[in-house]
Structure 1
Amino acid sequence: MIFRQLFDSTSSTYTYLLADEQSGEALLIDPVFVQMQRDLALIEELGLTLRLAVDTHAHADHVTAAWLLRRETGCDIASARVIGAEHVTLPLDDEQIFGVQGVALRAIATAGHTNGCMSYITADQGMVFTGDTLMIRGCGRSDFQEGSAQRLYESISRRLFSLPDSCVVYPAHDYQGRNVSSIGEEKQFNARVGAGANETDFVEYMHAMKLPHPKLIDEAVPANLRSGAPEQEELPPRPRWGDIRLTYAGIPEIDEEWLEQHLDSVTVLDVRLPEEVRDYPLAQALVDVHIPLGELRERLSEVPRDKPVVALCRSGRRSALAVSMLQEAGHEQVASLSRGLRGMLQDG
């Protein structure tokens, strides 16, 4: 199985990619609205097909990307039936088996943080995705969205702690930079429910916390009850000057076919060495400015700002760094030629 743990630093949210190597089918758990392009870039680079977007609950601190992902890929959307979220195509019940070809998950109801929390367990019980029910050395709060400290204690102690000690715990959030734990660790060391804490210990702890109201709850929860669908088609901004593809590394790229058709509307920046330029004289018909990458930081003022800039090199690797330098210098409309001159000359 292909597995990746992704992170959104703004909301401290973990998104999980699970996929079958043979079928290429993939699912995402707890995708984040503003990270949709990143997630799709990774899926494309790994040669996968997204079939399912899954939420563990209606988050209060960020908006899910489920609706966006369905809009872009046609994937199904899954979340607990009890949530009643719009646009869900696969409502989940307790103990339901679901997933994609080659990757099966079992949904278990783990209410308490919210009424609609679910955790997802792999078929071999080797991994569990706990949402905000069980976190690393902690748990989700229980004072909003029909939360209940008593139900949360039961969900953790009876349902999650019944899994094998070796089962790896992957939460939806962590605010301290921790990324993984295990059932055995949390049973022993969890600050709220571990080391033999009983229901009274836990409930009194949770009631005494008196946490501030989540800052985004009034925006995030209504949006998540629509599976992330904007009320007025307010989609994440995308560059409009060209057919831009954002890589998983975060580099905006453009392909050679688009460049060839729009040479008059962009500035083409060649960042190869002078000797490389001499080796490929035909490529100079495309180029407006030649500045070797090693000199670019000192010569940024020579790059025009009246048009979008497409940086190129032999393979697309150096031009990717050139794009980062240009962005740092305030160039907003910039992209790297995705496969470099090598791809363009091979196709030609």
Structure 2
Amino acid sequence: MLFYQLFEPQSSTYTYLIADLKTKEAAIIDPVWETVDRDLKLISELGLYLMYILETHIHADHITGASEIRKNTMARTAVSALAEIDCADILLVDGQVLELGEKRIKAISTPGHTNACMSFLFEGMLFTGDSLLIRGTGRTDFQEGSASKLYESITQKLFTLPDDIQVYPAHDYHGISSTTIALEKELNPRIGKNRSKEDFQKIMDELQLAVPKKMHIALPANNVCGKSEVVKSMIESNLLGYKFTSSMAGGR
């Protein structure tokens, strides 16, 4: 098995590259527009055959690199069917299994942060997107968010997995790269120690979080899988407010 954890600093986003070393078939999880060149270079250097581009949800804080990576590889894009977008090649349902060489990726529906959140289980590793974070959880105040649904997703699905499962979220803002199911059941201040649903909902209701800075451009871009023509139009209109690498801004 091959595993890489990659980081995009502007949005504190983790992108993950996983593969079956025997067949060299690979998948990338939550790629970011700004780091597409880095990701494609790594895939090429390792001699991998990218089969899937997996999205844990429709992101509000960064633009996906899915469309650009898809153009440059044989990979198919995959997102929850509940996202209700037309650009994805595979619309995932709860429990669906994707074959990756001789290994398997299991999609687990974990709504709450958004209605279309998916976590992915692969070889003892759980990629939780924004559903379960390290000592935290995703917010539930927009994109059909629901504290009640998120509580059920974490306690009834994720926390029922083996304690030694390694947890890899889509973000971390404190310099920690991973956790385990056991640690989050014990130490997560929002939902650990068998916290009640009522207490969790109260905590989430009282959060006072700023709107993601890129939400106004990330959501429309991600609803078309980060289609390069749409993103480049935003760049030309100076709607993004930050710079991309020259190759991305100028096209391929």
TM-score by length of structure 1 reads: 0.66
1:14 matched residue in structure 2: 14
Contact 1:19 1:102 in 2 (8 A): no
Cα distance in 1 between the residues matched to 2:35 and 2:99: 22
Task: Report the equivalent of 1:45.
Answer: 45
Q: Structure 1, residues 230-282: CA drift from partner, whole Å, max 9, x if none?
A: 44461863299xxx9xxxxxxxxxxxxxxxxxxxxxxxxxxxxxxxxxxxxxx
Q: Distance in 2 between matches of 1:239 and 1:219?
A: 17
DSSP 3-state at the match of 2:59:
coil
CA 1:73 to 1:162, structure 2 compared with 1: closer, same or farther past 3 Å? Answer: same
The runs of 5 or more residues in structure 1 that have no matched partner are 245-348
Looking at structure 2, the residues matched to 190 and 233 of structure 1 have their Cα atoms a distance apart, in angstroms, of 37
Q: Map of 1:189-208 to 2, 5 A cutoff?
A: 189-208=187-206
What is the CA–CA distance in structure 2 between the aligned matches of 1:238 and 1:29, rounded to whole Å? 22
Residue 3 of structure 1 aligns to a residue in which SS?
strand
Q: Structure 1 residues 102-111 or 4-13, which shifts more? A: 102-111
**1:185 counterpart residue number:** 183
What SS is found at the alignment partner of 1:238?
A: helix
- Report the 3-state secondary structure (helix = DSSP H, G, I; strand = E; otherwise coil) of the residue aligned with 1:41: helix
- Runs of at least 5 residues in structure 2 that lack an aligned partner in the other structure: 236-244
Distance 1:200 1:28, change over 3 A: same
- 2:68 match: 68
Cα displacement (A) at 1:102? 2.6
Confirm whether residue 25 of structure 1 aligns to residue 25 of structure 2: yes
Q: 1:211 aligns with which of 209, 212, 216?
A: 209
Matched, 1:225 2:235: no
Superposition pairs of residues 255-266 of structure 1, within 5 angstroms: none
Q: Who is 1:286 aligned against?
A: none
**Count of residue pairs the alignment pairs up:** 239
Q: CA shift at 1:136, angstroms?
A: 0.2
1:153-302 mapped onto 2 (5 Å cutoff): 153-232=151-230, 234=232, 237-238=246-247
The SS at the match of 1:78 is strand
Does structure 1 retain, via aligned residues, the 8 Å contact 2:67–2:226?
A: yes
Q: Check whether the contact 2:22–2:101 (CA below 8 A) recurs between aligned residues.
A: no
Residues 97, 33 of structure 1: CA spacing in aligned structure 2 closer, same or farther, 3 A cutoff? same
- 8 Å CA contact retained: 1:12, 1:173: yes
Q: Describe the superposition over 1:277-335 as per-residue Cα deviations: whole angstroms up to 9, x where unpaired.
A: xxxxxxxxxxxxxxxxxxxxxxxxxxxxxxxxxxxxxxxxxxxxxxxxxxxxxxxxxxx
SS of the residue aligned with 2:216?
A: helix
- Corresponding residue for residue 126 of structure 2: 128
Residues 30 and 56, structure 2, Cα contact 8 Å, conserved in 1: yes
Distance in structure 2 (CA, Å) of the matches to 1:174 and 1:201: 24
CA contact (8 A) 1:113 1:140 kept: yes
Contact 2:67 2:225 survives alignment (8 Å): yes
Structure 1 distance, partners of 2:99, 2:151, is 27
Counterpart secondary structure, 1:215: coil
Partner of 1:94: 94
1:53-104, CA deviations, whole angstroms, 9 ceiling, x for partnerless residues? 1000001100111111111113100010110223211110011001421331
- Aligned partner letter, 2:246: P
Are the counterparts in 1 of residues 31 and 66 from structure 2 also a CA contact under 8 Å? yes
**Secondary structure, counterpart of 1:98 in structure 2:** strand
Residue type of the alignment partner of 1:223: A
SS in 1 for 2:72: helix
Greater displacement, 207-216 / 231-240? 231-240
Code of the aligned partner of 2:27? L
Q: Distance in 1 between matches of 2:248 and 2:127?
A: 34
Cα deviation code 1:5-39 (max 9, x no counterpart): 00001110001100111111111000111100000
Letter aligned with residue 26 of structure 2: A
